[in-house]
Chains A and B, each alone.
Chain A
């Protein structure tokens, strides 16, 4: 496959970035999107140019590091996939592909396609944990958890914190991420003592970072590589106003 890439290049956080066009030649349809970028980068290095900087780590869809907006869709147009698991067979030979970083004020671009996502870590530090020492694993059935509660908590905990929800949100809101991190505890008995306190603290931290506000358009849910449902946003909203009563 031969493709034309339009890639966001930006030297450093202060620099003014721009879109630059590169050809991607002789790409195998079995390559992942990141492997395709590796090939382009090898060519750039051979030519003595700066390779395109992009985040990646596990390349098996579970770490949450890769973060590209491809033709305006975070992680590309395939549902429930991270960029590293997106294969070139989903593109057409000769296609033009626009590659941009996550764009949100709380995610400053560090270089090219790499953004600083520590705002999400700061939200977690505000309350995304259980503060008691839980000790070792309890005996089976010592703490009964209904199956469906455990499943729901696990659905929320599937969030890998990649930030695609923020990138795709029309308002750069982090509410899908937040709600997943809140509801993974809200559905388990261990999460109950700090439940109301947690939602207040985490929402305050999110607001302080300058994220936008959810307008219920559900673009986040559509791009989430872990297909986390906006039901958790509704649950977070409900917990939040209850926390003030």
Chain B
């Protein structure tokens, strides 16, 4: 373990940890997006998907703990590296100039922290049901008796609110900047790139970010435009 801490403390070691945790978060975001898109398949599809996810309680808690560790690793390493980077440039240039660094790459810490704040809010809204209790803990009555959490209505009724949708869209735009640099950056940090693949990897970041963000933003937009309608029966 001593060796691991020495590695984690080094500049490249912390970068590798940030990249690896970022890679897991990328997979998470992709899976989350694919899950979200089931809203277009209707109330039953989304609710049974949500029910399936929650049905394996042990699995759910293992995933939650692992994700918490991953998110903390990503944040702790990035904040520590950011502080070191600020210290390394103790005197600032009078004339600042940039040749090729993208806006996304220069604002990673801020886009990342904004997305993190949003994730807390998002969990409080939909998972813990504390911020908007009127849209949480809704249930769908099943035809054969019994009931299950009505995720579909929670999402649709929640995102009919312009403020909730607006905050979601803003957070997704931050996520776009974060992913557009983060996705490509991860390959460079892990050394999984080459002269041949570099142009492809550098383009893949913005493309990946655009796909994820466009798919996610489409949900509040279609809800606001009335294309995705509340389930028949409305509020319980």
Binding site for B on A (CB under 8 A): 6, 8, 19, 69, 71-73, 98, 100, 103-106, 109, 168, 170-173, 175, 203-204, 206-207, 210-219, 221-223, 229-231, 233-241, 244
Q: Give min CB distance, B94 to chain A, whole Å.
A: 5
Q: Within 8 Å CB of B90, what residues of A?
A: 105
Assess whether B99 is in contact with A213, with CB atoms less than 8 Å apart. Answer: no
Knowing A104-B88, A213-B81, A216-B185 are in contact, say whether A72-B191 is a contact too (CB < 8 A).
no
Assess whether A230 is in contact with B88, with CB atoms less than 8 Å apart. Answer: no
Assess whether A203 is in contact with B88, with CB atoms less than 8 Å apart. Answer: no
Count of inter-chain pairs, beta carbons less than 8 A: 140
Kindly specify which of B25-33, B45-53, B159-167, B192-200 makes contact with the partner chain. Answer: B192-200
Assess whether B94 is in contact with A241, with CB atoms less than 8 Å apart. Answer: no
Q: Give min CB distance, A128 to chain B, whole Å.
A: 16
Knowing A172-B89, A203-B10 are in contact, say whether A216-B191 is a contact too (CB < 8 A).
no
Assess whether B188 is in contact with A219, with CB atoms less than 8 Å apart. Answer: no
Assess whether A207 is in contact with B7, with CB atoms less than 8 Å apart. Answer: no
Q: Give the distance in Å from the alpha carbon of A215 to the alpha carbon of B190 in the complex.
A: 12
Knowing A71-B97, A103-B91, A216-B189 are in contact, say whether A173-B85 is a contact too (CB < 8 A).
yes
Q: Within 8 Å CB of B198, what residues of A?
A: 231
Assess whether B85 is in contact with A212, with CB atoms less than 8 Å apart. Answer: yes
Chain B interface residue count, Cβ-Cβ cutoff 8 angstroms: 44
Assess whether B99 is in contact with A223, with CB atoms less than 8 Å apart. Answer: yes
Beyond the given pairs A222-B100, A231-B194, A233-B188, 10 more chain A to chain B contacts, judged by CB atoms under 8 angstroms and listed by A's residue number, are: A72-B93, A72-B96, A73-B97, A98-B95, A100-B93, A170-B98, A175-B11, A211-B11, A213-B85, A214-B189
Listed by A's residue number, 27 A-B pairs whose Cβ atoms lie within 8 Å are A19-B94, A72-B95, A72-B98, A100-B94, A103-B91, A105-B90, A170-B85, A171-B84, A203-B11, A207-B10, A207-B11, A212-B88, A213-B14, A213-B81, A216-B184, A218-B100, A223-B99, A229-B195, A231-B194, A231-B198, A234-B192, A236-B191, A237-B16, A240-B10, A240-B13, A241-B7, A244-B7
